[in-house]
Structure 1
């Protein structure tokens, strides 16, 4: 079974790679030394033959020369091709190399040399010593592999240790100052993720506190009103007023509960399968649907785009949650007989969807995306933009609301989407 330890896998692979390198280098060096040895011997024999040839010794005058290591003789053979040739052979556990050098007619100068000493020398000095050095080299390489493995994996160990000590109450950032360049992207991604988790946890806490407060207040009002009603007899009108108050508070709580359910649906929609849609056509159709809602206040909605078509892969439910919130808020805060503009603008690999209203504007120092943040005196529980923020985070998009900078009253809500090509 393959080890799941990246540290062990790394140093094992490093040892194998280095070992193969040492073995390959040893074989190459040995073969090169061996070839050089034998090439020198053959060159010496060839030079010796040429010196004999210059003396032009005839066969009848030539006396065979026999020494301890070589035999020089003239042979006659009509079947041998007249060219210089070398050959090697073994005899009686000894190694020999033989040169045939053409002389005249069918005569050849044959020099046979004993190369046993050179063979043993090559094996003992080069082969044995070189591989003897390879053993301590392998040990050093083993130690080096362990040290390098630990040093290279140290940043991962540090990051892992940092992450293992994190919880929702201690989402600290990873210090990237001393990290190797190759780990910066990972560390920055983790830091970005912890920021998003921290923001999410913060919003969740505020949401739960807000829900408890928003539900507790109407309950307390109803309880107090009912207790007062029971202390003494009341007129029919007073009882009716108390019941109407209860119904009103119950309606408000129903709105609150519906918004909470919307939060659950929005978070569940994050797992929705993304699909390819024509964003221009999709928004245009939605704007036509919103015209029925805006007609109640005699508000005109205009749609414009700098492109005629834009195919994009997106989670439709999440996108619709954002667009619907933008337009509904624009209708809510825009006075009667005014104009709302919905625009699409594509620039390079970014797509911006903007909704311009003619309302009262906003206080840009207030975080409108936090739960239960309200603008003006309009009805609502203050969860719409919080839902839009959840949806935009799930789409890896940026969402913002700013006051208009074109000299008109109101604000502009923007959603910036990335339209980078999908990689196979």
Structure 2
């Protein structure tokens, strides 16, 4: 089994450019040579026919016959009158005698007697001129071919230079050195590629930053309860104590283990969320989806007698999205709102469809947040409530995978609380299906 060798785009480009341009030069050269030759021969033919007509007109004024029609030679032209038994189909003939070239025409002189004026002209000078033209064209074509080869190599290198520049830039990058590609020296055609790579670099840099913070936070968060359990157990084992003391130590150990289990579950959720990035998008009615989810969330808020309401500026809104990632974001927003909203208060979920985006907000009546803290970083907590501090981190990762944005701000009205916002791009809506539905509605 033969293995195909990878082809170089550089070689392919200049080879195709050289071949295509060479064929163009050759074709144009032959067309020009053929046109020149045809033009010269046509002029010679027209000139001979004009001479024949002149001879015929002159002969009408004098008595001319075969005996007294003398052979005339002038400037390589021989004129004679001949009698032909078989009339040729074409009165124009090109022939060669030795190294000499001739053109002959036959022009009717006396058709009843089958007599024709025969003019033969030596065209060696014209052939020599055509040969010079051909040789000059050959030299010009050869020079043009050399220029094309040089031009092809130059253009190939010019077109390849930005790719080499970007490739070298990427090859020198690692997780500790991620820099943006500068577009100043790149042709404008490569700007979309540079923008895509820069956007990818930003996401990679953010992901690496969060992962490092996550690993450090996990080590810190797991090390603290382990240290507490170890110290408490060592103290309990230093001497014999009452059973209640040992029970207290065991209860503390169980509480710490439960907290660690919650944290480990959150870390597992991160792995599941990353796997959900490859989930196949599904078409869902976002309004009905949020209505159904709101009913589920009311069961969670019933214990604190919190009223959850849902509002939408449209009755239906179909969208393609990964449901697992979307649920990860909405559920985290609502769970945080329930956690920080006092009893018998309210939470509002709103959907607003705009021209290019769809905005989902979760507004609570809680104490608000400190906006100077990046709550989407791992292990960042709000207030005194318990938790691993990974929920918003998971929501941010899910939003990045959906090419959406999330934010957390305090309310701007006269009430306390915060607003969690998810902005989805409407580009995720299939245009073909959307157009079909709009047509059916019309």
Q: Shared fold (TM-score greater than 0.5)?
A: yes
CA drift of 1:134 comes to 1.9
Structure 1 residue matching 2:255: 3-state secondary structure: helix
Q: Check the 8 A contact 1:59/1:74 in 2, yes or no.
A: no
Larger mean Cα displacement after TM superposition, 59-68 or 403-412: 59-68
1:5 corresponding residue in structure 2:
8
Are 1:291 and 2:298 an aligned pair? yes
Deviations 1:340-393 (A, max 9, x none): 121222212322222122222222221111000111111211100100111111
Contact 2:173 2:179 in 1 (8 A): yes
Given candidates 304, 321, 330, the residue that maps to 2:337 is 330
Match of 2:122 in 1: 114
Matched residues, number = 421
1:44 matched to 2:47? The reply is: yes
Q: d(CA) in 2 for partners of 1:111 and 1:321?
A: 100
Query: In the TM superposition, what is the alpha-carbon distance from 1:285 to its structure 2 partner?
Result: 1.2
Q: Structure 1: how far apart are the matches of 2:317 and 2:236?
A: 62
Selected match of 2:359 from 352, 368, 384: 352
Equivalent position of 1:90 in the other structure: 95
Which structure 2 residue ranges, 5 or more long, are not aligned?
433-442
RMSD: 2.5
Once residues 79 and 310 of structure 1 are traced to their aligned partners in structure 2, the CA distance between those partners, rounded to angstroms, is 92
Matching residue of 1:28: 31
**Change in CA separation of 1:167 and 1:86 when aligned onto 2, cut-off 3 Å:** farther
Q: Residues 330 and 357 of structure 1 are in contact (CA less than 8 Å); yes or no, is this contact kept in structure 2? A: yes
- Residue by residue over 1:207-250, the C-alpha shift from the partner in whole angstroms, topping out at 9 and shown as x without a partner, is 00100111110111111111111112222222211111111111
- The aligned counterpart of 1:268 is 275
Please, which of 124, 127, 137 is the counterpart of residue 134 of structure 2? 127
Distance in 1, Cα, partners of 2:71 & 2:347:
116
**Correspondent of 2:260 among 224, 245, 253:** 253
Match of 2:375 in 1: 368
Q: Structure 1 residues 247 and 115, CA, compared in 2 at 3 Å: closer, same or farther?
A: same
Q: Relative to structure 2, which stretch is displaced further, 151-160 or 231-240?
A: 231-240
Structure 1, unaligned stretches of length 5 or more?
A: none
Distance 1:77 1:279, change over 3 A: farther
Q: Distance in 2 between matches of 1:277 and 1:415?
A: 17
Kept after mapping to 1: 8 A contact 2:407/2:422:
yes
Find the residue that maps to 2:319 and give its secondary structure.
strand
Contact 1:334-1:357 at 8 Å conserved across structures: yes
Counterpart among 174, 196, 218 of residue 181 in structure 2: 174
The question of whether the paired residues in 2 share the 8 Å contact of 1:279 and 1:312 is answered with yes
Distance 1:304 1:76 in 2: 110
How much does 1:113 deviate?
3.0
Contact preservation (8 Å) 1:278, 1:311: yes
Please state if 1:378 is matched with 2:381.
no
Closer/same/farther in 2, CA of residues 275 and 65 from structure 1, 3 Å limit:
farther
> What is the CA–CA distance in structure 2 between the aligned matches of 1:254 and 1:282, rounded to whole Å?
31
Structure 1 match to 2:241 = 234
